[in-house]
Structure 1
Amino acid sequence: MTIGFHCSHELFPPDRLLDLARRAERAGFHAAMCSDHFNPWTERQGESGFAWSWLGAAMQATSLPFGVVNAPGQRYHPAIVAQAAATLSLMFPGRFWVALGTGQNLNEHITGDPWPPKDRRRARLRESVDVIRALWAGETVNHDGLVRLRDARLYTRPETPPPIYGAALTPETAEWVGSWADGLITVSGPRDAQCKIIDAFRRGGGAGKPVAEQVALSWADTEAEALRAARRNWPVAAVDLGKNQDLPLPSDFDRETAHLSPEGMADLIRVSSDLDRHAEWLRADSELGVDAVYLHPVGPDPASFIDAFADRVLPALG
């Protein structure tokens, strides 16, 4: 199982994030991925660097393979996503993948366009995927639908286009994603819920395709410190999935989580001061058939997390 490092643009400015990516590679992490936000989830997080320019720097500064989670169709026209991904794939062959999803109003509302209902967002994503693949194939694309193109053609393309993963948080979405994606990316959760998502993906057409998981976790010297940091840095884990997709402002997420206690985080993400416990969680991921796990540290000190996991957790996984 590949163990990667998740680079959170919401939590760190891009220069600090670049240092962390370098540190993760030196420590022995196998891969990396990053978020793609216009806004942070909360005002306290306070950062929101531009993912695509940062990816060029990070892939030049390291030899790691990288991925990014992106929502084409509103804030990004799919032709621009196709062009950006093609350029990175040409410069760094075999090292880039993109995960496509329906996105959150938090980031997409800035265009001033209405936030569509879920079924329309899903249809828009499916059109965008087809458009992106056609452009990577060298076609001249004209399309009228939920996205529109006129005489669009990519002149700079990699010999092998990057894989497209589908982002899914529910079994229903995972089953649909299995019909068109090259792989699945989801987030960690209770084992039963994870089994249902992975099984649905495979049932929907994803059998034999890779499964990746983003794991939010908090580690510190003490349990109390780990819980406090999780509450401070990642309260979004407590927000209902529907609200997660529909709330428009960081202040809305602050309001939704105002009464969340540090102790409440223990049921939402992986929180432990015990490195052996974190290794156990990762072994369980492997048993589920997860091919790649991207660790997303939301604890008090990401540099100490990298060093501690490199020293104790990665070796324990073989």
Structure 2
Amino acid sequence: MPTIGFHASHEQVEPRALLEAVALAQEIGFTEAMGSDHFAPWSEEQGESAFSFAWMGAALERARGMRIGQVHAPGQRIHPAISAQAIATLEAMNPGRYWVALGSGENLNERITGEPWPAKPVRNARLRECVHVIRALLAGEEVDHHGLVRVDRARLWTRPATPPPLYATAVSPETAAWAAEWADGLVTVNQPGDALRRVSDAYRDAGGRGPVHVQVHVAWAETEERALQEAFEQWRTNVFPPPLCWDLDSPRAFALAAAHVRPDDVRDSVVVSDSPAAIVDAIGGMLDQGFDGAYVHHVPVEQRAFLERVAPSILAAFSDSARVPA
């Protein structure tokens, strides 16, 4: 059976409410979840951005029946030795229940250090160095490293018995193929047409190991008109392909770029429907493009109605763990 997880969006939901959503997701039957790692939201309407590592510790404690991972960009905003320390601590406290997907980041979040935003090839090279540093620290080595990142005699004193998997994030076939050199799995995001299959094929054709998962954006409401309205309000700044989405530097810049986005434009990025069955079909179509699982992100801020009224249909279609909440 494919993995079906719940996505916790730190950019949209304040952290206490997000903990409640994860707890409810577990009650309904989800055994997997993932979170994002941002310093700023994509838009002022989203309006949140809690510190993901702090939230992750609370979520793993609150939902002890779930395996929970996160997307994270080491190297600029967070030094890779600090990333490794956080990763090691979460796994040591929750053996076998944590994973992290590493990416090269977005200017929106990373510029806060005041350092220049590097070109994509440099960001990839920096990420590769960060992966080397993190793996070495998780293995118990003392690390000196002098390159695009610098590390001076770092050692982790608290480590898990077994390091958690280090997945990669990718939205293009080129990045997916490059990530196959070092990643334990891949996480990507839903795209229109056959773009998804090209990403999964590129990773596996390049020798990529481990699971390949897709994050699926969904907007559901009592009417399709309402679902589209909420998707547009929350996600119109998230419709831009690379490199624009990597390089814009603030929620204000994303708002300016989205000035001419129309509500129907959001449908390329978000499954919009008032029908649970249609949402199930859309997720199934994505899984059929070569994916081992999907993490479902309900784009409207309100999570409870979606979890209670739509998520059980998704779980019933792809797993045997759906439950009706008490």
Scaled by the length of structure 1, the TM-score of the pair is 0.97
Equivalent residue, structure 2, for 1:86: 88
Query: For the Cα contact (< 8 Å) 2:7–2:35, is it kept in 1?
Result: yes
Alignment-derived partner of residue 17 in structure 2: 16
- Code of the residue aligned with 1:34 in structure 2: it is G
2:304 is the counterpart of 1:297? no
Give the whole-Å Cα distance in 2 for the aligned partners of 1:219 and 1:230. 9
Specify whether residues 292 and 316 from structure 1 end up closer, same or farther in structure 2 by C-alpha distance, changes over 3 A only. Answer: closer
Provide the C-alpha distance between the structure 1 equivalents of 2:59 and 2:308, rounded to a whole number of angstroms: 19
Contact persistence 2:13–2:301 (CA under 8 A): no
Q: Say whether residues 1:70 and 2:72 are aligned partners.
A: yes
Runs of 4+ in 1 over 3 A off after TM superposition: none
Please, what is the CA RMSD of the aligned residues?
1.2
Name the amino acid aligned to 2:137. L
One-letter code aligned to 1:217:
V
CA distance in 2, matches of 1:40, 1:157: 32
Partners in 1 of 2:168 and 2:87 — Cα distance?
Answer: 15
> How is 1:36-55 mapped onto 2 (pairs within 5 angstroms)?
36-55=37-56
- State the alpha-carbon separation in 1 of the partners of residues 267 and 225 from structure 2: 10
Measured in 1, the distance between the counterparts of 2:291 and 2:114 equals 38
Q: What count of residue pairs does the alignment treat as equivalent?
A: 317
Q: Aligned residue for 2:112?
A: 110
**Alignment check: 8 A CA contact 1:220 1:300 kept:** no
Cα shift readout 1:297-317 (whole Å, capped 9, x = no counterpart): 013631111111233232133
The offset of 1:191, in angstroms, is 4.4
Q: Offset at 1:212?
A: 1.1
Given the superposition, is the C-alpha separation of residues 300 and 62 from structure 1 closer, same or farther in structure 2, using an over 3 Å criterion?
Answer: closer
Decide whether the 8 Å contact of 1:237 with 1:269 is kept in 2.
no
Given that 1:216 and 1:297 are in contact with CA atoms closer than 8 Å, whether structure 2 keeps it comes out as: yes
Contact 1:226–1:300 (Cα < 8 Å) also in 2: no
Q: Does 1:126 align with 2:128?
A: yes
Number of the residue aligned with 1:166: 168
| TM-score, structure 2 normalization | 0.95
Cα distance in 2 for partners of 1:131, 1:54 equals 24
Runs of 5+ consecutive residues of structure 2 not aligned to the other structure: 320-326
Kindly indicate whether the alpha-carbon contact (under 8 Å) linking 1:44 and 1:233 is maintained by their aligned counterparts in 2: yes
Report the AA paired with residue 138 of structure 2.
Answer: W
Which runs of 5 or more structure 1 residues have no equivalent in the other structure?
none
Give me the whole-angstrom Cα distance separating, in 2, the residues matched to 1:236 and 1:184: 24
Deviation at 1:43, TM superposition (A): 1.0
Q: Is the 8 A contact 2:220 2:273 kept in 1?
A: yes
Judge which range, 258-267 or 26-35, deviates more. 258-267
CA offsets, 1:159-182, max 9 Å, x none?
A: 100000000000000000111100
TM-aligned CA deviation for residue 268 of structure 1: 2.6
Which of 193, 198, 203 is equivalent to 2:200?
Answer: 198
Tell me the percent identity.
Answer: 49
Task: Tell me the equivalent position of 1:220.
Answer: 221
